[in-house]
Structure 1
Amino acid sequence: MAAYIVNSDSSSDLFGRIRRFKNSEEERLLKTSLKHIVQNDLPFINLVIDSCNGKRGGLFTEACVELSPYVEDVGVDTEEIGLINMRLLFKLDIFEKFLENGIDSVLNDTDIVTVFLTLLEFLRDRKVHGKAIKEIIKEAPGKTTVMVALAQHLLSQLVPDKEYLVDSTAKQLPKKCPDCNVQIQAGNTSIGSLSTWHGRADILINKTIAVTVVEEDTETGNSSNDSKLRNSSNDTKLRNSLHDTDMENALNDADLGSSSDSINVEPSIKRRKTASNEKTEIFIDVSRGEDILTNLYTLDQIVAETVTNGFAQVNMDNLLSGLFIPTIGCTAGHASIFLYDPENDILLQAGELLQLWHVSPSERLLSVFSIVCLWLFLNFKTFSVKNLKDKVKLDKSRFHEYMKYKLRFYKEIQIGMLSCTSTSPRPLGTLTQDLKMYCTFRKPSEHIR
């Protein structure tokens, strides 16, 4: 692994800064969260595509994707759905060494030191960033405000370079962050081409990870665009991802834990029985609940963006081939993780939403466990296992199979290729160009004069 810091003075400062966190509260919190992950928390659903409209170029917001786990009759439990534990996605030896030796375990690699230091410093300052997010959104609620708040004070803070872009075409986008007066990093976040699914990510982290921000109604918590939603149920909610009893006890301090209500109240959910290596019945949430991130309209959009961005990233950097490229869906209160490996055609979705906030008796704080999960996926180049399909049996998404000859268009796209508008234009001649790959020139018959 190449060293992240090349200047010896900078490297010395880097190691000095991280050593200050030895035996700190931040180190303890990180250990607690990693322990929970190692113990198989947060399953991912192995998604299989039955059909989609990716053959014709269209906006992410116009995408239609039929997925095997999201069938009409979710009460039928005869079909098995593949699951994979989140722990298998990562290089567990890094976590295990940290659990055993803490800060000392990462001091032999400046790359890993930099990534860990980024998280530890954010955990130290999380109350400040959490307060900033709340104040920005409260001052001027709306999608653009949520985009700016999450980009500036959460997502970008979890990667070493703090590099991000928000969509420069977003309505009423401020030039500076309303809270800290820092210049907003805005630019072209377009992904895809007119021959593929395409659109603008709301946020791009390190020009690699696409983030879609979905607006909720500030009074009800539901989408302000309810007319577009399909098959949503008003009485369903995803359960808190911190469901493990030991984890709840360990995190039940001034900064972490679950309220008594979230622990004791069993939500009403639609469930689907899944496959399990232990041959026991495991139920996962496939509910289409009140939260906008769980309805099928949003799911279609994010799946299309996940697949398209996965291809774009591998096209630009072959070193990412065989890795799961994350795409994140966010509201002001939740995050949903999607992963796609375009080389091996495997698509995963987190089986639970990450709750961004924990409500303590005295205040509302950013959830440490959710922060750590986001940090792992935002730094997937450091932590992810390559070619996981060689170690774990996974179903292909069938996107390659479904697209057939059109797949070549996806293997050409990159970030920032086009400037997408609110409609999905098809330039003159596109139909003819598409038809050419199915046709061959016919030679005139010798008998024709």
Structure 2
Amino acid sequence: MAEAMIGKMNINTEITKQHIGLRHILKNAEKHELAFQEIFNCSAACGGSTFSKAVFRMPYFGIDECQTSDPPEPWMSTVCRMKDVFDYDILAKLLDDPNFDTNIKTNYDDLVKFIEDKNQHEVCLQKMCQSKCSDGALVVTKTDIAYALAVHLFAPLSNLQKSCILDNHSEGFPKSCPGGCGRSVAKGTTGIGAAQTWHGYADISVNQTVPVKVLSEEPHDLSVDEEQLDQSDSEDSYDSITATRTPFYQRTDPISEVLAMTITNGFAQVNENNSLTNFLIPSIACSIEDVMVFTYDSQNDLLACIPEHFRLWSRTDKHHFDISSIVRIWLYLNFRTFMRPSILESFVIEKSNFHKIAPLRHYQQYSKCGVIDFSSKDKTPRVRETQSARKRRHSDDVSR
């Protein structure tokens, strides 16, 4: 009886933490969340290629030296606040009455269950964090990291365990979670795009909607003082930021790959489901310790990212999750429920220029999700076995 009471108290404590996570998100309604990006140039104009070959030239990203073709500085980025991105009325109602909407409660139950089980998730992921050589490099494989993150982060936060799949091209696929818990996740088809466009395979696909790129190393550490960043956030500071405000990502690999995946997935999802038109459809890049989020609205040509990566683990206790980060990931995985469908209804935002640079018709017609392979019939050499039956009969007659 005493043990049961202690267990119930522990669960209640974790649920309280989950409420704290939601309250933190609500409290930070005025904080910067998404920064909209202008593409100066990118390799999409060169025709179809894999995500890994994508190249971008963007403000604060992929630029070592200014070129005469670049727009004059200072380069500006429109920034929206948390409450501009997510429907805060829904989030506030969840704290008062989680049962107010059946469909929303289903998503909310996933978060509650995750917090209840979070100690189990933390143990396995911590084993991944601690599997390092003396020089600090991880000794576990990228597939191991992807497997553990799928089992202990993305699957439990996205409704059903089977809704989260790993790329079936993954090498060294383990039989169960490399953290030792015995839980498993399935391989599946994670292909995005088409041979005529950017294309490739997400490391993890969540609900066949949100692709995840797993980084074997930590994301690039931005040269921004986070305390200074927080202090500069104010109620009316969402209009724009300059180069002195946030440097964004300073390397082209693998972030170019993630950007290409984000844009292509934005088209693919709308082609598959027209109800996602006008949504900032997210994709995620993450290591075992940090998370980055990118979004793209293919209808309105809006590319945005969270300006700085956020930590998966608490700053005060590195063995436990940062609950606010968990809630944030949960919101993006369930963007169809919690995200405002059209930012443009409230703001005038500069386009990303992708529509002007890329062969737009190809992305709107050909880009798909759940693609098995990207071989193009147009580019496949015709072999003798593929000729028509009429031609085969003619050939047989001649040979006789």
Please report the TM-score for the alignment, with normalisation by the length of structure 2.
0.79
Rounded Cα–Cα distance in structure 2 between residues aligned with 1:205 and 1:89: 20
Q: 1:280 to 1:323 in 2, by over 3 A?
A: closer
Q: 1:174 to 1:36 in 2, by over 3 A?
A: same
Q: Note the alpha carbon deviations across 1:100-149, whole angstroms, 9 max, x for none.
A: xx2x4231211111111111221222222011112245465121111011
> Structure 2 unaligned runs (5+)?
1-10, 67-71, 132-138, 383-400
Rounded Cα–Cα distance in structure 2 between residues aligned with 1:409 and 1:277: 31
Q: 1:240 to 1:403 in 2, by over 3 A?
A: same
Match of 2:146 in 1: 147
Q: What is the SS of the residue equivalent to 2:115?
A: helix
* Aligned-residue offset at 1:54: 1.2
Q: 1:27 to 1:153 in 2, by over 3 A?
A: closer
* Aligned-residue offset at 1:175: 2.6
Q: Note the alpha carbon deviations across 1:383-429, whole angstroms, 9 max, x for none.
A: 0111221211111111112224x4334433211324259xx999247
Q: Note the alpha carbon deviations across 1:41-87, whole angstroms, 9 max, x for none.
A: 2432111111111131111000011113434459x963322212232
Q: Look up the equivalent residue of 1:380 and give its one-letter code.
A: F
Q: How do 1:193-272 residues align onto structure 2 when only pairs under 5 Å count? A: 193-216=194-217, 237=223, 239-240=225-226, 244=230
Q: Note the alpha carbon deviations across 1:176-212, whole angstroms, 9 max, x for none.
A: 2232222321112111111100011000001110000
How many percent identity over aligned positions? 26
Q: 1:277 to 1:286 in 2, by over 3 A?
A: closer
1:411 matched to 2:365: yes
Aligned pair count reads 354
* Aligned-residue offset at 1:285: 2.7
Q: 1:380 to 1:191 in 2, by over 3 A?
A: same
* Aligned-residue offset at 1:299: 2.0
Rounded Cα–Cα distance in structure 2 between residues aligned with 1:238 and 1:172: 37
Match of 2:91 in 1: 95
1:105 matched to 2:97: yes
After superposition, the CA RMSD in angstroms is 3.3
* Aligned-residue offset at 1:160: 1.5
2:122–2:320 CA contact under 8 A, matched in 1:
yes
Match of 1:371 in 2: 326
1:37 matched to 2:28: yes
Rounded Cα–Cα distance in structure 2 between residues aligned with 1:387 and 1:114: 24
Q: Look up the equivalent residue of 2:287 and give its one-letter code.
A: T
Q: How do 1:51-130 residues align onto structure 2 when only pairs under 5 Å count? A: 51-55=41-45, 56-70=47-61, 71-72=63-64, 78-98=74-94, 102=95, 104-130=96-122
Match of 1:321 in 2: 277
* Aligned-residue offset at 1:36: 3.3
Q: 1:343 to 1:355 in 2, by over 3 A?
A: same
Please report the TM-score for the alignment, with normalisation by the length of structure 1.
0.71
Q: Look up the equivalent residue of 1:375 and give its one-letter code.
A: W
Match of 1:385 in 2: 340
Rounded Cα–Cα distance in structure 1 between residues aligned with 2:12 and 2:102: 16
Match of 1:312 in 2: 268
Q: Note the alpha carbon deviations across 1:298-335, whole angstroms, 9 max, x for none.
A: 22111100000111111111111111110001111111
1:276–1:282 CA contact under 8 A, matched in 2:
no
Rounded Cα–Cα distance in structure 2 between residues aligned with 1:241 and 1:419: 46
Q: Look up the equivalent residue of 1:205 and give its one-letter code.
A: V
Rounded Cα–Cα distance in structure 2 between residues aligned with 1:351 and 1:114: 30
Q: What is the SS of the residue equivalent to 1:389?
A: helix
Match of 1:251 in 2: none
1:168–1:187 CA contact under 8 A, matched in 2:
yes
